Amino acid sequence: MSNTAEKPSEARLWGGRFTGASDPLMDLYNASLPYDKIMFDADLTGTKVYTQGLNKLQLITDDELAKIHEGLEEIRKEWQNGTFVEKPGDEDIHTANERRLGEIIGKHIAGKVHTGRSRNDQVATDMRIFVRETLTKLLDFLATFIGSIIKRAESEIDVLMPGYTHLQRAQPIRWAHWLSSYATYFTEDYKRLQQILERVNQSPLGAGALAGHPYGIDREFLAAGLGFNDVIGNSLTAVSDRDFVVETLFWSSLFMNHISRFSEDLIIYSTAEFGFIQLADAYSTGSSLMPQKKNPDSLELLRGKSGRVFGSLAGFLMSLKSIPSTYNKDMQEDKEPLFDAMTTVEHSILIATGVISTLSIKKEKMEGALTMDMLATDLADYLVRRGVPFRETHHISGECVRKAEEEKLTGIDQLSFEQFQSIDSRFEKDVMDVFDFEVSVERRTATGGTAKSAVLKQLKKLTDQLN
C-alpha cells in the first residue's frame, strides 16, 4: 500500500492520532457545520489576518500569503453566492474552509494556515467577530425602533389617557408619557448593549489550544487587524471564556422581557373593552372560524418569544456551569442558543418597529376612559396647597369619593360646593377647578412627569442619548 493512501480520519484536522472510522451517528452528533456556517465570513476574515501574523514571523512567504488570501476570497464568494459545496468530513466551518482552501491553492500551502493556531482560539475569535457584528446591527435597529416611539410621542403629545396601577384606572397621563416610558426602557437596553459590545470586542486569537502561541505571534497585531480593542490577557481564559455569550443571552432575555410588557399593554389597549388602539392589517391576523375577529398576533408572538429567548439563556447556563477550565466540547452548545436568540431579537425589533409605526390610536376612546375619580389625588393636593397635611387631605378626599358613591353620582365632580363644605370647611368655591384632566396632567411638571414640558424633556434626553 502506498504511504500516501488515505486513512479514515485523514480529512479531519485532528485525525493523525486515529486510524479507525468513527460511528456515523457520532459524526452527526459532533458536527456543528449545519449551524456554525453562519460564521463563514468571520472565519475567513480571522484566517486572513492570522496568516498576515504568520507572514510577519516569516512562517509564510509573501507569495504564499497572496495565494492564501486569493483562495480565501474565492471561498467567501462561494458562500455568498450559495455555491460552496459541503462535503463529508466538514464537521465545522473551520474544517470546511480549510479543506476548500486546500482544493483551490493546494494542500501544501493551505496546510500552513493553521500553524500555531487551534480551533479553540479560532472558534472563540469567530464567535466574537460574529457577535460583535450582529450586536452592532442590533444597535442600529434598536435606535430606529426607539426613534419611532419618540416620533410618535412627539406628534401625539396632546392625547390624554388613563394611567394604570394594578390594571385599575389611577391618574390621567399623556399617551406620549406612556410611549416615553417604554422608550426609556429600550434606551437603557441600548446603553447596556453598548457596554456588552466593549467586553465582546476582545481578541482570543493567538492563544493556541490553551497554553499560548509557540512562535511568539504578535497578538496585538492580530487584534488590531480584526478590529478588536484589546487582547484577552490569559491564554486559558481566551479559549474558554463564554461570558460574552451569557451576557448577550442575558441582554436578549431582558430586552425581550421589555418587549413582552410593551406588547401586553398594546394587546390590552387593542381589545374592544379598551379600544384605545388599532393595529394595522399588516400586523394582525383573522380567525379561521369567526370573520369579525382581528387578532394582534404580532404582539402575541413578541410576548411569546420572550420565553424562547430566556430558555436559551437558562439552557446554556446549565451547560456552562460545571465545565472545567479551558476548552471542552460542551462549549459547542453555545452556538445554537446564541444564534437563535440573536435572530429572534433582530426579528422582534423589526416587527415591533413596524407595529408602533403603523398602529392608529383612538383619541376619543382614550380620553373617554378618563373618569373624575382619577382626580381624587388632585382633590387632596388642592387642600395641601392650603396648608393641610397630605395624610389628612388623603382621608378627606376619600370621604368625598365615598359621599359621591353614597349619593349615586357619576363622579366626585358632581358633588355640590355645599357637600364639599360639609365634608371639610376648608374647601372653597374654586375647588371645582380641580376637575380638569388637562390641568391635572399639566401640574406634573417635575422631571419625569406627565406635563407636556416634562414629556418633551424626557423625549429630548432619550434622543440625545441615542445620538
Domain membership flag for residue 237? yes
Domain membership flag for residue 235? yes
- 148 and 272 part of one domain: yes
| Per-residue pLDDT band at 173 (split at 50, 70, 90) | very high
pLDDT > 80? residue 288? no
Domain membership flag for residue 167? no
Those residues whose C-beta lies under 8 Å from the C-beta of residue 81, and which sit 6 or more positions away, are none
CATH code of 188's domain: 1.20.200.10
pLDDT tens digit string along 341-398?
999 999 999 999 999 999 999 999 999 999 999 999 999 999 999 999 999 999 999 9
Q: What is the pLDDT of residue 292?
A: 64
Domain membership flag for residue 450? yes
| Per-residue pLDDT band at 7 (split at 50, 70, 90) | very low
- 131 and 105 part of one domain: no
- 250 and 220 part of one domain: yes
Pairing of strands 202-203, 168-174: unpaired
| Per-residue pLDDT band at 9 (split at 50, 70, 90) | very low
- 384 and 349 part of one domain: no
- 21 and 97 part of one domain: yes
pLDDT tens digit string along 71-101?
999 999 999 999 999 998 898 999 999 999 9
Domain membership flag for residue 101? yes
pLDDT > 50? residue 3? no
- 333 and 361 part of one domain: yes
Cell of 383: 387642600
- 219 and 127 part of one domain: yes
- 357 and 449 part of one domain: no
φ and ψ of 114, to 5 deg: -90, 10
| Per-residue pLDDT band at 15 (split at 50, 70, 90) | low
CATH code of 38's domain: 1.10.275.10
Residue corresponding to grid cell 460564521: 39
Q: What is the pLDDT of residue 12?
A: 55
Q: Which residue has the higher pLDDT, 256 or 9?
A: 256
Domain limits at 34? 15-110
Q: What is the pLDDT of residue 20?
A: 56
The domain boundary, picked from 298, 332, 365, lies at: 365
Structural domain total, the chain:
3
Cα–Cα dist 85/88, whole Å: 10
CATH code of 394's domain: 1.10.40.30
- Hey, is 252 helix, strand or coil? helix
pLDDT tens digit string along 176-223?
999 999 999 999 999 999 999 999 999 999 999 999 999 999 999 999
The domain boundary, picked from 340, 365, 390, lies at: 365
- 71 and 195 part of one domain: no
* Contact in structure between 171 and 440 (CB atoms under 8 Å): yes
Domain membership flag for residue 188? yes
* Contact in structure between 398 and 376 (CB atoms under 8 Å): yes
Domain membership flag for residue 3? no
| Per-residue pLDDT band at 25 (split at 50, 70, 90) | confident
- 73 and 144 part of one domain: no
Average pLDDT of every residue of the chain: 93
- 306 and 184 part of one domain: yes
| Per-residue pLDDT band at 2 (split at 50, 70, 90) | very low
pTM of the model: 0.90
Residue corresponding to grid cell 483562495: 71
Catalytic residues: 166, 287
* Contact in structure between 427 and 417 (CB atoms under 8 Å): yes
- 106 and 137 part of one domain: no
Domain membership flag for residue 185? yes
pLDDT > 80? residue 151? yes
Q: Which residue has the higher pLDDT, 290 or 121?
A: 121
Separation in Å, CA 388 to CA 275, 381, 383, 420, 439:
40, 9, 6, 15, 21
